[in-house]
Amino acid sequence: MAQLFISDLHLSPGRPEILRLFLDFLLGPARQAEALYILGDLFEYWPGDDDLADPFNHGIAKALAACASGGTRVSFVRGNRDFLVGKEFAAACSLQLLDDPIQVDLPDGGVILSHGDALCTDDAAYQEFRARVRSADWSAAFLARPLSERKREIETLRARSEAEKRVKPLAIMDVNELAVADLFHRYGCSRLIHGHTHRPARHELTVDDRHCERWVLADWYDSGSYLLVDPNGIRAVAWPSA
């Protein structure tokens, strides 16, 4: 059976065409797969599980739950845009929340899964921000604020982040090779799949005299894409298929 991997869809009401691609994907390839792994940034942003009542979010949750009820095991690794996804969201979607990073076993061996932002260690300012907002105290204080206030704050942070990215060197926004090698060393397997960088590719490297490969997932800004692992191997697939 097939295992599918996606990330960086950045779903929002302002991009209805990508939402339609995703809903069709859930009815098509995902429904036929054994497992679907969403490796973060499914949403443009997630202000908290109390936003599930929003019709846009409710529709996505309903579609994911329907995919799961059809027999596909759905798992979710939080991204930098939706790290506030919690247990209520998971229950509404009938999916399993996974740690980042995590090793899972596939038919052809173990694989490390990650959103990927923690590997961008050259961007010290981002890593400091990431550590702060991922803390339990920060999350609790933020989620205690009114939903409308949280959304305004996120919009402000997003605008600031986009402005900062325009002046940052491109290299520091990619993964650090030593951070990647350390991950392979700690987990002992030979394959890593992640998103975040929006630089889809297959990279080969040697760690501890072991041949390893790092697969970077594509974003869904202009079209869809998923990574397919099945008895025939591993490959990137465009969605919709040509």
Q: What is the pLDDT of residues 24-76, one digit of tens each?
A: 999 999 999 999 999 999 999 999 999 999 999 999 999 999 999 999 999 99
Strands 73-77 and 35-38: parallel
Phi, psi of 169 (to 5 degrees): -60, 140
Average the pLDDT over 134-157 and give the result: 96
Q: Does residue 209 have a pLDDT over 90?
A: yes
DSSP codes, 229-241: EETTEEEEEEES-
pLDDT in tens, 146-194: 999 999 999 998 888 888 888 888 788 899 999 999 999 999 999 999 9
pLDDT band, residue 101 (cuts 50/70/90): very high
Task: Please provide the DSSP assignment of 48-101 as one string.
Answer: -GGGGGSHHHHHHHHHHHHHHHTT-EEEEE--SSSTT--HHHHHHHT-EEE-SS
Q: Which residue has the higher pLDDT, 163 or 10?
A: 10
Question: Domain 3-239, what architecture?
Answer: 4-Layer Sandwich (3.60)
What are the b/e assignments for 140-164, b being 16+ CB within 10 Å? eebeeeeeeebeeebeeeeeeeeee
Report the percent of the chain where pLDDT is more than 90: 90
What band does 241 get if pLDDT is binned at 50, 70 and 90?
confident
Mean pLDDT taken over the chain? 96
- Which pLDDT value is given to residue 2? 95
The pLDDT-based confidence of 242 (bands split at 50, 70, 90) is low
Would you tell me how many other CB atoms lie within 10 Å of the CB of residue 106?
A: 16
Q: What is the pLDDT of residue 11?
A: 98
DSSP 166: T
* Tally of CB atoms within 10 A around 47: 23
**Alpha-carbon dihedral sign for residues 192, 90, 135, 81:** positive
